[in-house]
């Protein structure tokens, strides 16, 4: 007999978010979390430690300084408030059957999840177990010792003077800049040609320049081959460079799936996460998954978006599909970076050259940016010649709020030329999109000789007629 409409195997904030959503729809829900789930969630949220104390750091004048302990206390305070709003007690009070413990799937006599000597039988299951940080295979790294983005906040009472951060993900970039602004010497090492993928190359170059201006040493296309401990210092062989440091921070991740007995129930995976289809079904169509357990960056809004899709497919009919073109994401640097849709390079691969219009507006022309003395940045929007918005990358003041507006436009098929009909509050960052819309109209007019001649004839007629 089916006991639950859905059994959620959690351990991440996305799991708790899904449990809330399912109970609000009237479903009978079980949420299974490991005994250390509170610590895991705390650690996960503190992956964004740079983001959390960035508001303090970013407001400092160049001559000011803030100590590590103060920054950490502030971050813990913010996190405790966020954690209280997502506690297991509150979820249980909503009617979710919360089971604390570690378990595994069973195939016989029927598909179920076994935990605390109890079989939980659900019509469907949702895996939202998250991920954990895993050190790359580098000679001497384990012997020398390292920290991860997940445990750095628990392990450091005093910030090291010298840091080496391995890997390019949003949280590692945030941490690199924030630590540098806390007067630490930081080296960020990535193996790729860009410090982070899936963002426009032109915009990433601006971010890299800003990191370096903040004091971060950036090494790209660099592979660390060996780590040694010499006279109490850690040394890394990074490409052809030997780097001395006090602490090494690792940013690589792997999904939390080891103890779930997935092979026995036909669920397949690769090194980056579970295999899922566009409906977020695993290779067992009664088991769904969401969040960083299926790979990708650890981003709260992305995990919640996937949870919504997976939840409705699991509870009702599996008809909804993920479309990441509409999902914005960002990096909480100073200034922040945000992205949605496809990049210029991707557009050039999908469309003919003359079908694409690239719009660039710089924040130095934005009144609000001038008022706030935050003139650095660019808003780059990729459109088709019919005005359809394909994607955007924003680096500058309130980039996240801007990208949300552009994301809504993409989702609702609002063309760039329609923005000129909007009268936005003044001053606001949204004005930069109006500037882009005016620029789009100008480009379209410059390419349309017939329209130019028609307008010239029309105004000539008007001038003569008024006489």
Whether 60 has a pLDDT exceeding 60, the answer reads no
Report the pLDDT averaged over residues 98-121.
93
Q: Any known ligand binding at 167?
A: yes
Distances in Å between the Cα of 1 and the Cα atoms of 5, 68, 99, 111, 434 are 11, 55, 19, 11, 58
Over residues 136-149, the mean pLDDT reads: 91
The response to whether 2 counts as a known ligand-binding position is no
Query: What pLDDT sits at residue 65?
Result: 55
Q: Assess whether pLDDT exceeds 90 at residue 402.
A: yes
Q: Is 292 annotated as a binding residue?
A: yes
The number of angstroms, rounded, from the C-alpha of 371 to the middle of its chain's C-alpha atoms is: 29
Model pLDDT, residue 319: 95
Q: What share of the chain is helix, strand, coil (3-state, %, to 5)?
A: 40, 25, 35
Show the tokens assigned to 115: 């935990």
Buried b (16+ CB within 10 A) or exposed e, 300-309: bebbbbbbbb
Q: Are 303 and 14 in contact (CB under 8 A)?
A: yes
Q: Tell me what percent of the residues of the chain surpass a pLDDT of 70.
A: 91
Q: Give CA–CA dist 380/394, Å, rounded.
A: 6
**Sequence-ordered list of residues with C-beta below 8 angstroms from that of 272, at least 6 positions apart, any chain:** 255, 295, 296
The reply, when asked if residue 172 is annotated as ligand binding, is yes
pLDDT for residue 50? 42
A 10 A CB-CB count for 133 gives: 21
- pLDDT tens-digit profile of 177-213? 988 888 899 999 999 999 998 889 999 999 999 999 9
Instruction: Determine contact, residues 100/36, Cβ cutoff 8 Å.
Output: no
Q: What does the radius of gyration of the chain's CA atoms come to, in whole angstroms? A: 25
Provide the pLDDT for residue 448: 78
Q: What is the mean pLDDT of residues 62-67?
A: 55
Tell whether 171 is in a known binding site: yes
Please report the domains of the chain, with CATH numbers, ordered by start residue. Answer: 4-132+254-323 (3.50.50.60), 141-251 (3.50.50.60), 335-449 (3.30.390.30)
Q: What is the pLDDT of residues 208-254, one digit of tens each?
A: 999 999 999 999 999 999 999 988 889 999 999 999 999 999 998 89
Asked if residue 87 belongs to a known ligand binding site, the reply is no
- Cα–Cα distances (Å) from 210 to 138, 173, 176, 198, in that order, read 29, 11, 12, 19
Backbone angles phi, psi at 428, to 5 degrees: -155, 160
Does 169 count as an annotated binding residue?
A: yes
Give the chain's end-to-end CA distance (angstroms, integer). 89
How deeply is 320 buried, as exposed, middle or buried, from its count of CB atoms within 10 A (0-12, 13-18, 19+)?
Answer: middle
Higher pLDDT, 447 or 100: 100
- Model confidence, pTM: 0.89
Bridge partners of 276, per DSSP, are none
Confirm or deny that 130 is annotated as ligand binding: yes
Lowest-confidence pick of 61-70, 98-107, 246-255, 411-420 = 61-70
pLDDT, residue 296, reads: 85
Residue 5 counted as an annotated binding residue: no
């Amino acid at each position: 007999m089916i006991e639950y409409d859905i059994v959620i195997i959690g351990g991440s904030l996305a799991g708790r978010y899904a449990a809330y959503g399912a109970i609000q729809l009237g479903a009978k829900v079980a949420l299974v979390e490991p005994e250390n789930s509170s610590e895991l969630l705390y650690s996960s949220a503190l992956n964004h430690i740079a983001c959390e104390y960035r508001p303090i750091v970013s407001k400092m004048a160049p001559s000011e300084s803030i100590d590590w302990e103060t920054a950490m206390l502030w971050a813990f305070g913010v996190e405790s408030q966020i954690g209280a709003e997502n506690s297991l007690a509150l979820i249980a009070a909503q009617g979710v059957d919360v089971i604390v413990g570690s378990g595994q799937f069973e195939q016989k006599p029927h598909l179920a999840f076994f935990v605390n000597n109890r079989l939980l039988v659900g019509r469907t299951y949702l895996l939202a177990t998250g991920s954990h940080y895993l050190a790359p295979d580098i000679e001497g790294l384990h012997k020398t010792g390292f920290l991860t983005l997940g445990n750095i906040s628990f392990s450091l009472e005093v910030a090291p003077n010298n840091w080496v951060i391995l890997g390019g993900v949003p949280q590692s970039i945030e941490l690199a800049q924030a630590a540098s602004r806390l007067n630490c010497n930081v080296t960020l090492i990535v193996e790729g040609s860009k410090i982070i993928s899936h963002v426009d190359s032109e915009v990433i170059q601006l971010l890299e320049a800003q990191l370096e201006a903040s004091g971060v040493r950036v090494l790209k296309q660099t592979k660390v081959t060996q780590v040694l401990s010499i006279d109490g210092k850690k040394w890394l062989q990074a490409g052809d460079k030997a780097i001395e440091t006090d602490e090494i921070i690792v940013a690589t991740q792997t999904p939390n799936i080891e103890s779930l007995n997935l092979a026995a129930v036909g669920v397949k995976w690769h090194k980056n996460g579970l295999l899922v289809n566009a409906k977020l079904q695993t290779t067992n169509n009664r088991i769904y998954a969401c969040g960083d357990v299926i790979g990708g960056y650890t981003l709260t809004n992305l995990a919640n978006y996937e949870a919504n899709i997976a939840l409705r497919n699991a509870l009702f009919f599996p008809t909804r599909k993920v479309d990441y073109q509409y999902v914005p994401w960002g990096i909480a640097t100073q200034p922040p970076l945000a992205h949605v849709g496809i990049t210029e390079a991707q557009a050039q691969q999908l469309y003919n050259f003359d079908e694409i219009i690239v719009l660039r507006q710089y924040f130095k022309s934005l009144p609000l940016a001038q008022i706030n003395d935050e003139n650095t940045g660019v808003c780059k929007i990729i459109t088709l010649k019919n005005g359809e918005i394909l994607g955007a990358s924003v680096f500058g003041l309130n980039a996240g709020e801007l990208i949300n507006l552009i994301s809504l436009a993409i989702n609702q098929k609002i063309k760039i030329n329609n923005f000129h009909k909007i009268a936005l509050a003044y001053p606001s960052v949204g004005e930069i999109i109006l500037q882009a819309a005016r620029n789009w109209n100008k480009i379209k007019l410059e390419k349309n000789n017939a329209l130019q001649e028609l307008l010239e004839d029309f105004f000539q007629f008007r001038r003569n007629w008024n006489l």
